[in-house]
Amino acid sequence: MIMVKKSVYLDNSASTRVLDEVVSAMIPYFTEIYGNPSSLHSFGIKAKKALDDSRKIVANSINANPEEIIFTSGGTESDNIAVFGVAAARKDGRIITTKIEHPAIKNTVQKLKTQGFEVLFIDVDYEGFINIKQLEESINADTILVSIIHANNEIGTIQDIETIGNIIKTKNPNTYFHVDAVQSYMKLPIDVVSAKIDLLSIASHKIHGPKGVGALYIRNGVKLKSLQLGGSHEKNLRAGTENVPGIVGFAKAVELNLVDLEEYTKNLVFLRDRLIDGIEKRIPHVILNGPRGVSRNSNNVNISFKHIEGESILLYLDMQGIAVSTGSACSSTSLKPSHVLEAIGLPVEICHGSIRFTLSRYTTKEEIDYVLEVFPKIIAKLRALSPLNAN
C-alpha cells in the first residue's frame, strides 16, 4: 500500500480553495442580513446595498461601470447569456470563435449552428495562438459576434485581446466582441475599454471565491435578449433572487486578490517555471503544450507524456496525495481526446497522455519540489507497464 506523504492540490483551474477572509465576509449574509435584495424593508435594503457595493468592486477591477455588471451562477452561465443573448437579439448572422474554446462557448455556438447561424472556427498554431489574419478576413458585414477565450483553460495560451478587439471594431464596428476571461481574471490585467470588449465572462471560484457565482460585463448599449423568464433581476437579463452571500464572497475575493496581484503573479510564474523545468530535466519524452514565458497563463502547466495514458498518471499521483487533471474539469468524464490538444496538432495518442497542473496562491515551493521528487518514479513505473511504450 502506498502511503500518502503530503496533500498537494494542483487542480486550481478547476476550482480553488476559498480564502478564509472570504468565508468570514459571507457569514453575516447567511445569518443576519438574509433578506431578499428586492424587498423594501430594512433586511432587503441592507442586502441590496451589499449587491451594489459588490457590483462596484467587480466593475472597478476591469475598468467598467457598475451598471454594466450582472451577477450569474458562474462562467458557463455568463458565456451562455452572452452568446445566446446576442443571437436571440440579432436573429441571424455570422458568429466567429476559435477551435480551442471552453465547452461553454464551443457547445453553445454549435447549438446555434443547428438553428441557422453561420459559425466559423478560427485555426490556432502549435502553441494555441489564433490565426489573426484568418480572423480579420472572416469578419464581414454579417458578423454579429466574435468570442475569444483570453487565457486557454487547458494549455494556458494568452491571446492578445487588445489587438483582437481593435481588429474587430475596425472591420465591423457593429460586431460584438465577447471574451471568456474565466481563467485570466485576477491573473492578467483586463481593461474592457482599451480592448474594446463588449461582453466579458468571469467566475468566482477560480479566484478563491465561492462556487456558484460569476459575472457578465455587458457594455452599455449592447443589446441582449433575456433567455430566462421571471422577475426583473439583474437588468431583466437574469431572473431569480440573487445569491447575496456568494456575491459578497466573490467581491471580497476580488478585493483580496488586488492587494498583492503583481507579487502573487510573479510567485506563480516562478513556481510554474520551476515545475516545467524540473519535469523536462527529470523525465524524457515529454511535450510542453502551449507557449513558454509571458504568453502563458501564470498558473498553468500542461505536459504530454509519451507512451502512457493521462488517467493512469492522475490516479498514481492521487495515491501520492497530488491532485491534478487531464484537462478541463467540464470534460473530465469524456473519453474523447481534448479538442484543444487536437487543434494544436497533437496526435490522438499523445493527447491521451496529457496532464494539467494548475497552481494558486496556496501553492508552495515545497509542494512543487515534492511533485518533482515522486513524479519521475511514477512515470518510469507506468512506462514499464505500458503496452504503448516503444522502448
**Gyration radius (Cα) of the chain, Å:** 22
Known catalytic residue at 351: no
| Closest C-alpha among 259, 193, 233 to residue 55 | 233
Residue 204 near residue 246, CB atoms below 8 Å: yes
User: What's the Cα-to-Cα distance from 190 to each of 138, 143, 147, 216, 374, rounded to whole Å?
Assistant: 25, 24, 16, 14, 37
DSSP conformation class of 330: G
Only one residue has cell 490556432, namely 124
Residue 275 near residue 368, CB atoms below 8 Å: yes
Instruction: Return d(Cα 335, Cα 289) in angstroms, integer.
Output: 19
Give me the residues paired with residue 14 across strands: none
In three-state form (DSSP H/G/I as H, E/B as E, the rest C), the secondary structure along 91-159 is CCCEEEEECCCCHHHHHHHHHHHHCCCEEEEECECCCCCECHHHHHHHCCCCEEEEEEECECCCCCEEC
CB burial readout 356-378, b (16+ within 10 A) else e: bbbbbbebeeebbebbbebbbeb
In three-state form (DSSP H/G/I as H, E/B as E, the rest C), the secondary structure along 44-78 is HHHHHHHHHHHHHHHHHHCCCCHHHEEEECCHHHH
User: What's the Cα-to-Cα distance from 35 to each of 165, 214, 233, rounded to whole Å?
Assistant: 41, 21, 15
Catalytic residue among 227, 287, 323, 330: 330
C-alpha cell at 194: 482599451
Sheet of strand 118-122: strand arrangement = 69-72, 214-218, 199-203, 176-180, 143-149, 94-98, 118-122
User: What's the Cα-to-Cα distance from 63 to each of 192, 195, 298, 348, rounded to whole Å?
Assistant: 6, 11, 22, 42
Which residues are catalytically annotated? 330
